[in-house]
Amino acid sequence: MTTDHTHDATLRSWVDAANDPANDFPIQNLPLARVEEADEGEGAPGWAVVIGDRCVLLGELIDDGFFDDAPDRLGLDLLATECEQGRGPTLSRENARFVREKLSRALRVGAAEGLRRAVEGAMVPAGDVRFLTPGSMQGYTDFYASVHHASTVGAMFRPDNPLLPNYKHVPIGYHGRSSSIVPTGTPVRRPMGQQSPPDDAPNAGPSFGPCKMLDYELEVGCVIGLHNDLGTSLPVARAMEHVVGLCLVNDWSARDIQKWEYQPLGPFLAKNFATTVSAVIVTLDALAPFRCPAYARPSGDPAPLPYLADASDQRAGGFALTLEVAIQSAQMAERGLAPHVVCRSDAFRDMYWTFAQIVAHHTSNGCNLRPGDLLASGTVSGREPGTRGCLLEATWDGPGKPRKPIELPSGEKRAFLADGDAVIMRGWAEREGFRRIGLGECRGTVLPALG
């Protein structure tokens, strides 16, 4: 990954909102989004590039021949067709780079008149469209790549041996339910489920009712752009050629339901009721200035097996992102109190497994990934309470101790989420000499359970 003129921090756009330092989508970003007209039933979904407070509709530009000089024009035609069918994005890194570079030239101050006029004709206010999930996401896999998360959760149940023997040898993951992936802003219904007998009455039998320990999970997802055929695998050195970019993910978790059902087969109803994703895919090319070395494994840790080892991935397989979670209760909203930040960290650079290793491992047995598939990192956590990416960790005060609830500005306390709570996740990348770019927002509000 190299930087070029599209990353120039001095670039300004003729879209005024993009020049606001607080805006997530300056001309140096240009993320992808799947949108439809806000009036329901009006038009088919289409791919867009977001800049400032505007969306550039790629389908219109493709139809108008704006990208006729692309290295793979047929690939861009397929991108437009698949979006209308709710699939995709089928987008090679070469084409993604071409689209971003050409739009950068057209959207900057001083752009050639013909380029600017063409883009203006395909531009709509972001408020006039509805943002969908950024890709079909017909396949979804959630991983467990944060060693700090795995160690903290493991210590709750296995104080003397927090990490299971396989953790440092294999990227641990499970297949999630893609049908319940929802775009940011979609309310999330508190799930019903079967829960274990009370600790003080183990013979009482399980009960069924609303989840009492509803949690969020702060994650980063990568979206697949190119498929691999069934029966083939992707080498770690080329795995990221099949990734379009990154998004934010909240993989909601019903902890009490999970406690009862997860053995022996792992997550099921405690996880498949909802997964919220942010609206945009920030491309790998936009993130080029913010790549960093992969997590340096401590002395004595096993080296990755050869199919997971690559020197270039070790040098720059990480991403220097800042991630944040805030909670706004219904009472806070009524009183006009701003969301309260409960987690902020740069722990994503310390993921034990990189996305290249995750993609390589996922396909190592011949599993076929498809355009639009979502692979999520698992909860991103640091070592300290203020950097832990879920309430299960953030309110844990050590073995044998009661949970230490988070106190909100309203005076309310939270060990787990209450009905009416809004969870707002944000992410961004910044580095001296480059423009800050953002991943947007991943938001969901808890609705009461039915029944």
Find tokens 């600017």 and name the residue: 116
What is the C-alpha end-to-end distance of the chain, expressed in Å? 52
Cβ pair 203, 276 in contact under 8 A: no
Catalytic residue among 148, 149, 340, 361: 149
H/E stretch holding 188 reads strand 188-189
Dmax (CA) of the chain: 77
Alpha helices in 88-210 (DSSP H): 93-107, 113-120, 147-157
Residue 159: cis peptide before it, omega within 30 degrees of 0:
no
For this structure, is 227 an active site residue?
no
Cα three-residue angle 55-60-64, rounded to 5 degrees: 135
Per-residue burial over 232-257, b if 16 or more Cβ lie within 10 Å, else e, is ebbebeebbbbbbbbbbbbbbbbbbb
Nearest C-alpha neighbor of 140 from the set 222, 231, 35: 222
Specify the amino acid at residue 61: L
Looking at residue 171, its amino acid is P
In the DSSP assignment, the letter for residue 162 is -
Q: Name the phi and psi angles at 429, rounded to 5.
A: -130, 135
State the catalytic residues.
149
